[in-house]
Amino acid sequence: MFCCLLSTLCYTLLVHHLKDLNEKQKEAVLHTKGPLLILAGAGAGKTKTISHRILHLIKEGVAPHEILAITFTNKAGKELKERVHKLIETDPELNLPISHFGMPFVSTFHSLGVHILKENAQKLGYTRHFTIYDRADSLSTIKEAIKSLGLDPDQYEPGKMLHMISWEKGEGKTLADYQSRTGNNYFAQAVAGVWLAYETALKKENALDFDDLLLKTAELLSKHPDVRAHYQKVWRYIHIDEYQDTNKVQYSLAKSLVGEEKNICVVGDIDQTIYSWRGADISHILHFEKDFAGAKSILLEQNYRSTKTILSAANQIIKKNKVRVEKNLFTENHDGEQISLFVGYSERDEAHFVATESAKLIASGVLPEHIAVLYRANFQSRVLEEAFLTHGVPYQVLGTKFFERKEVKDIVSFMRAALNPESLADIKRTINIPARGIGKTTILKIFSGQKDGLPPAMRAKVDNFYRLLGKIKEKIETDAPSRVVKFILTESGLEKELSEGTAEEKERLENIRELATLATKYDVLPLRDGIEKLIEEAALATDQDSLTKNESAVKLMTVHASKGLEFEYVFVTGLEADLFPHKKIGERRVSSAEEEEERRLFYVAITRAKKKLFLSYADTRMIFGSQMINVPSEFIIDIDSALIHDMPRQSRWGGGQDDTEDSIVYL
């Protein structure tokens, strides 16, 4: 009898972590051997499922360090880490601090690349202290390459050239691959020349760009079977979130990490594939069961986020797509309010509506950060910002990264230059911060190895700068990251200069001090490791990371940027034909694949909402200096009219019809 009770108690403890899961989630958690595909609809609790699956593996005896979880954003990674941490520490069977077990390796693809490359940099001809170029660094180097080759920057636009190179790398192609395809094509040969000059500059500076973090890692695992076997042994259980968003090089990297046991679990939603423009290939998730024979597939269809009304609209929208796995999201949540539709006379009228409705919500007790305004194209934010300013509604435009602020980049560049003296980009950036009177000619002489030939006074200035870098390097070896930031601020002279400057300069000083505060989270790491992690965070920060700043504000962002986020109240604006769904200027027709991706994008937009959804468009909109007369988006027409409430026109901002006119009929 006692044994029976004990057995029951042990089983109860073992499955304690399953009690809050639905049956399909439980099935996914308990399937621990072999490949697993989880098709998780919007708001279906995929993060909860992954975190409980990781806990279950640990309770079955898998060492945490043998578990790898790859996310697409830092935010998603942080959330997963926190959930796993909490589950481990509160599980009644484990009942031990996290320090006893350790934690699984949770990372984005790019952070994973950095980790692997730092451990094996020498095999690719780099040192572990390589510099990671951000887009600005890459663009500057591309411009120099175009100039050195005597090419016309108007014809060979640097941004376009960088995009082409980035696209090729995302497809898993090297410079040699591209060169083999140029043939007699003059333009392609020019691109190859720019790429070669760009790669040469990167290698000279012991630097890698954002795309290299994946391409070089894939190359490393492909060319070095011993390295590949090592990481397959290290991470026996692999989880990949948002698998539908993988490009070819990420796909290759993922497959290389899977060992003989084939313990790979991927989570994704074909209906949320919205990044084909940056290389995401929907075939990767569609063909998963072919890639991994015997794979189990599980559908998560229960939505925990949205009301029944919002979910009904989402299902009506997405069912028109042909390239998908059939599923029908459902929820046990209440019906909720109807979807509100507003038609403005102009884009200013529409913006006025969004701002005033946001103000009403805030006045009723809704926190500003629980409201989001989504739009298809970045240019739409300008008029919305004007309206929010006019009405005194606090707002934040997603996309202003903390680490992209000049003064923050300056401090990080000092660290990078101290650790990697080959990084000419960082030396060029910092050598005159603050102003030291070192001109371009002098900098060119330094870079060409002619420092000894400089006039004595100029030589002294240059020597002082390099002594500063030496001091910073010593500080990195002996002190915590937060104190290194403070040291650079003081020793460089920046603190004195900014504190005595304008209000704007004093604000820049506060941003550097904020960097010191942020750096404290790395103070617990071994000295040099802490700085390296801080530099890595600066290089790999995403738009969503900026949401941690100025939280008490309505969030304005593109629909693409909203992926993975949720808000109680969501406004989807600019629902006009040719704007959303989007059609490029001069484009006569859109491919069926593009049509379906636009529909998926709208699906993503409306499934961000938890309580209430607002849709809007304008009769007229100024685009590229031309006044466009609009018709409503087909997406509005596709939603059952019973789900929609037409909102009356409000006082308009100049021109047009009478304020009391009814909303135009869209059906």
Kindly name the residue from 46, 248, 486, 600 that is annotated as catalytic. Answer: 46
The reply to whether omega before 481 is within 30° of 0 (cis) is no
Residue 385: closest CA among 342, 344, 355, 416: 355
CA distance 155 to 158: 9
Kindly name the residue from 219, 242, 407, 597 that is annotated as catalytic. Answer: 242
Please indicate whether residue 12 is annotated as part of the active site: no
Please indicate whether residue 608 is annotated as part of the active site: yes
Kindly name the residue from 47, 49, 442, 607 that is annotated as catalytic. Answer: 47
Residues 6+ apart with CB under 8 A from 387: 348, 351, 352, 354, 355
Kindly name the residue from 324, 475, 600, 608 that is annotated as catalytic. Answer: 608
Please indicate whether residue 154 is annotated as part of the active site: no
Coil/strand/helix, residue 526: coil
Structure tokens of 194?
A: 């720019």
Kindly name the residue from 141, 244, 246, 272 that is annotated as catalytic. Answer: 272
CA distance 371 to 552: 10
CA distance 574 to 594: 18
Kindly name the residue from 241, 271, 281, 545 that is annotated as catalytic. Answer: 241
Gyration radius of the chain's alpha carbons = 27
Burial code (b: 16+ CB inside 10 Å, e: under 16) for 355-364 equals bbbbbebbee
Structure tokens of 509?
A: 């000083």
Q: DSSP string covering 157-188, please?
A: -HHHHHHHHHHHHHTT--HHHHHTT-TT-HHH
The DSSP secondary-structure symbol of 661 reads: P
CA distance 212 to 516: 29
Please indicate whether residue 47 is annotated as part of the active site: yes
Structure tokens of 626?
A: 């031309």
Biggest CA pair distance of the chain: 94
Residue 491: closest CA among 404, 438, 405, 418: 418
Please indicate whether residue 147 is annotated as part of the active site: no
For residues 210 and 135, the answer to whether their CB atoms sit within 8 Å is yes
Please indicate whether residue 241 is annotated as part of the active site: yes
Instruction: Give the amino acid at 548.
Output: T
Strands 644-646 and 620-623: unpaired
Active site residues: 46-47, 241-242, 272, 608
